[in-house]
Structure 1
Amino acid sequence: MNFVSKLMSSLRASLVTVCAALPLIGFAQAPAAVKLGVIGPFTGASSDFGKPLLQGIQLAVDEINAVGGYLGRPLELVVRDDQGTPDVGLKAAHELLDAGVVGTIGFCNTGVAQKSLEVFQNAKSPLIIPCATGTPLTSKYPAAESYIFRTSARDSIQAPFVVNDLVKRGWTKVAIFADTTGYGEAGLKDVEAALSAHQLRPVNVTRFPLGVTDLREQLKVARDAGANVVFSYTVGPENAAIANGRRDLGWKVPQVGAWPLSFPFFIDGAREAADGALMAQTFIAEPSNERRAAFLSAYARKWGGRMVVPMAAAQGYDAVYLFTYALLGIRDGKLGGPAMKTALENIPRVYYGVVATYERPFSKDDKDALTANMLVMGKVQGGGITFAYPEDARRNLIVQRKK
């Protein structure tokens, strides 16, 4: 029995347990669908990770519906495209709540998410963030009151993870290149804090707007300041502009960063200049164990082609299963926002996921499912992402639990 079969068997067993505890009422009519909101950048500049996010979510929903959904009620996705734009995302957030969703999985861009958090919090409607990593997203509200959950690795654990690697390698003269979005602003603060923990300061900090295509002059300043590594914090083609600028200047220093260095905008946009770049990863698309092999196989069967941002697909997939496991903790069928929040904070069963083994991933005091031990260092090599260290590949045979 492979991973997907085991997972579906586990869900069937959970459904049988829940159904046995319920009175037999209202089952003569076809059960109404459980509406799950999905919001992300499915068109526009950030669609390269929005699309695989949606594909991972849809794959999980199809699997769950195949074994009965929630008490025989299928999950139904209500999808809205935020186009990577804060105002569009805000409008879409309101539309999802108006559509009667019982929870939402969404947001890839920190700045887009920031503008909409209040909508979900005020409506007491749970939001699980599967991609956006800006640290402030899950710290905006007091944890005990917050309806904002996350299955991506926040920047306050990604930045120290990468900085620790830099120090180990002796790359301590750091130039930071961060965009002027909410993502770049939060990431810059996290990198500076991580450096400070090692009694280090960046030798140069460069800020730039989205859309910039030439950063060679700024790179010259960083080079002249004595930098021996460039830490970039941006999500789009600007990462490639940094790599291509270093190549044009003949400045052979490494480029490191958070997970956007695994995006096609960087790898395809910089080509050979991207090789060797290092970044934090929660999931690398290699069949390192049964769970991940089964997920990769199921994804390929359904969608075919290249999984362009594997982390987005895997984290979205896991978010759906966590949402469903929470649903199965609600035995009276009353799926109001406060009940859903409590259920997410008290998921009764371990979910053996693709990114992690989720045992009590959320609690009243902690809304982030991932911890630093789940990260590995990825490396761009030959147009793809692989493990930077052989020991990480070996460690990845065991899916990590939260610490």
Structure 2
Amino acid sequence: MNKPSLPTRQLSSGVSNVRIGALIPLTRPGWAEAGRHLLNGLELGVCEVNDAGGINGRPLELLVRDTAADPNRTVAAVDELDSLGVAALAGEYHSVAARAAALRADAIGLPFLCSSAVLNALTEQPTKWVARLAPMQSHGWQSYADFLFKAGHTRIAVAIEPSIYWAFGASILREYFASRGGSIIELDMRVCAPMALCDELIANDATALLLLVGHPEPALSIVKSVRRDQRLGGILIGAPAGQPEFAEWALQLGDDGTEIPFLRYLPDRLGSLGARIQAALIARLGEAPSFVAFEGYDTITVLAHVMRSNGTDRVRIAESWSSIAVEGTRGRISFSRATGNGVWQWACPPVQIVDRDPANPDSFRVLHAS
């Protein structure tokens, strides 16, 4: 797929565009709704950069490729975009695809600013080529575990599918609760049907069930089964990966989709830039933007800042991560190295735990912020 974002006004004539490759899940099995929000954030950023004169007079152009959350397809897209001369890569929501992109970008020397994937180990070894805006999975999921523990939950069941992302998330939870006398019970959804899962929750005296599974299925079927089992009226359903963030969740589940805490990466209150971009994203999307849309916009903000200051040479972009200090929609963005993380990491992205309000499933309640 090639969907260039054209400049909104004419810039300097006779100059070549600065190209950015965008990796986005737009079709299944990728989460297309998350991809749509990410794409709109990226495109809005490109439009605003071009309205402000582009990259030192050169139009910024976005070359979009659909990863469909497939690692092999992602690597092929990276190679194609490399051959088209992009200055850098941006985007991706799914950790398995982002990891594939990061490993390939590192191997060929192509800067990659990952917008939204949280898996700690995006690369095997430390690399100068890759930076990330989303928080590390260990940071967000430990906050989520702490939230559960303080709410009195120490016997946690997780409905899980095979994936390095889900497996690492489960290991974070297991380590946290084991150190505090709690336990994690893993229920493999390859062999456990949603109805049978309800029996397992009863048998194991679980007080909380976490959805470490894909959306829409089996996540929706699990929620429906648990909500309709009268034996499980007191159990907490949680979704640390953020499945309830998007409108499709509320549309499919209605009241059943409320009171399910999940992680999102927004501050308690948006500043003036964030509020302005929120309004612009609502106009583009026709609905409230998710945190993923803000991540997309911030990605372009960072890359434009780097290229205006240091040029479009790939090596110079990669060597600039440590010196970045730029205002984004959700706070001031700068990058550092973190233990257990081989990429340049936004030092302090905001983290919230929220749920959909049972009184109004289209609105959110902030339960915890850090």
- Give the TM-score category using the shorter length: 0.7 to 0.9
Whole-angstrom CA distance in 2 between matches of 1:343 and 1:165: 36
1:343/1:289 Cα in 2 relative to 1: closer, same or farther (>3 Å)? closer
Secondary structure at the counterpart of residue 356 of structure 2: strand
Q: Deviations over 1:15-34 (max 9, x none)?
A: xxxxxxxxxxxx99622111
Of the three residues 115, 123, 147, the one matched with 2:100 is 115
Partner of 1:324: 304
Partner of 1:79: 64
TM-score normalised by L of structure 2:
0.87
2:125 matched to 1:141? yes
TM-score normalised by L of structure 1:
0.80
Whole-angstrom CA distance in 1 between matches of 2:193 and 2:363: 25
| Structure that is richer in helix per residue | 1
Secondary structure at the counterpart of residue 297 of structure 2: helix
Secondary structure at the counterpart of residue 62 of structure 1: helix
Partner of 2:244: 261
Secondary structure at the counterpart of residue 36 of structure 1: strand
Secondary structure at the counterpart of residue 328 of structure 1: helix
CA drift at 1:361: 2.6
| Contact 1:38/1:105, CA 8 A, preserved across alignment | yes
Instruction: Give the letter for the 2:335 counterpart.
Output: P
Secondary structure at the counterpart of residue 125 of structure 2: coil
| Structure that is richer in strand per residue | 2
Instruction: Give the letter for the 2:115 counterpart.
Output: P
Secondary structure at the counterpart of residue 282 of structure 2: helix
2:136 matched to 1:154? yes
Q: Deviations over 1:286-306 (max 9, x none)?
A: 9754233211111123x1411
CA drift at 1:326: 1.3
| Contact 1:183/1:234, CA 8 A, preserved across alignment | no
Partner of 1:49: 34
Whole-angstrom CA distance in 2 between matches of 1:355 and 1:235: 27
CA drift at 1:214: 4.6
Partner of 2:266: 283
Q: How does 1:320-399 map to 2 (within 5 A)?
A: 320-330=300-310, 333=311, 335-347=312-324, 350-358=325-333, 360-362=334-336, 367-371=344-348, 374-381=350-357, 382-389=360-367
Instruction: Give the letter for the 1:346 counterpart.
Output: S
CA drift at 1:362: 4.0
Whole-angstrom CA distance in 1 between matches of 2:12 and 2:238: 58
2:149 matched to 1:167? yes
CA drift at 1:91: 1.5
Tell me the matched-pair count: 350
Alpha-carbon RMSD: 2.5
| Contact 1:234/1:260, CA 8 A, preserved across alignment | no
Whole-angstrom CA distance in 1 between matches of 2:316 and 2:152: 50
Q: Deviations over 1:72-110 (max 9, x none)?
A: 111110110112222222211211111111111122111
Secondary structure at the counterpart of residue 136 of structure 1: coil
Whole-angstrom CA distance in 1 between matches of 2:318 and 2:135: 20
Whole-angstrom CA distance in 1 between matches of 2:364 and 2:237: 16
| Contact 2:133/2:345, CA 8 A, preserved across alignment | yes
2:206 matched to 1:227? yes
| Contact 2:110/2:314, CA 8 A, preserved across alignment | yes
Secondary structure at the counterpart of residue 377 of structure 1: strand
Whole-angstrom CA distance in 1 between matches of 2:25 and 2:276: 27
Q: How does 1:59-138 map to 2 (within 5 A)?
A: 59-137=44-122
2:186 matched to 1:205? yes
1:97/1:236 Cα in 2 relative to 1: closer, same or farther (>3 Å)? same
Whole-angstrom CA distance in 2 between matches of 1:28 and 1:375: 41
Secondary structure at the counterpart of residue 232 of structure 1: strand
| Contact 1:39/1:105, CA 8 A, preserved across alignment | yes
Of the three residues 171, 187, 196, the one matched with 1:217 is 196
Structure 1 gap ranges (5+): 1-26, 393-399
| Contact 2:128/2:319, CA 8 A, preserved across alignment | no
Secondary structure at the counterpart of residue 262 of structure 2: strand
Secondary structure at the counterpart of residue 154 of structure 2: coil
Structure 2 gap ranges (5+): 1-10
CA drift at 1:213: 10
CA drift at 1:196: 3.2
Secondary structure at the counterpart of residue 134 of structure 2: coil
Whole-angstrom CA distance in 1 between matches of 2:248 and 2:193: 15
Instruction: Give the letter for the 1:388 counterpart.
Output: V
| Contact 1:239/1:261, CA 8 A, preserved across alignment | no
Whole-angstrom CA distance in 2 between matches of 1:85 and 1:229: 31
Whole-angstrom CA distance in 2 between matches of 1:73 and 1:50: 27
| Contact 2:132/2:343, CA 8 A, preserved across alignment | no
Whole-angstrom CA distance in 2 between matches of 1:95 and 1:213: 40
Instruction: Give the letter for the 1:207 counterpart.
Output: D
Of the three residues 4, 11, 18, the one matched with 1:34 is 18
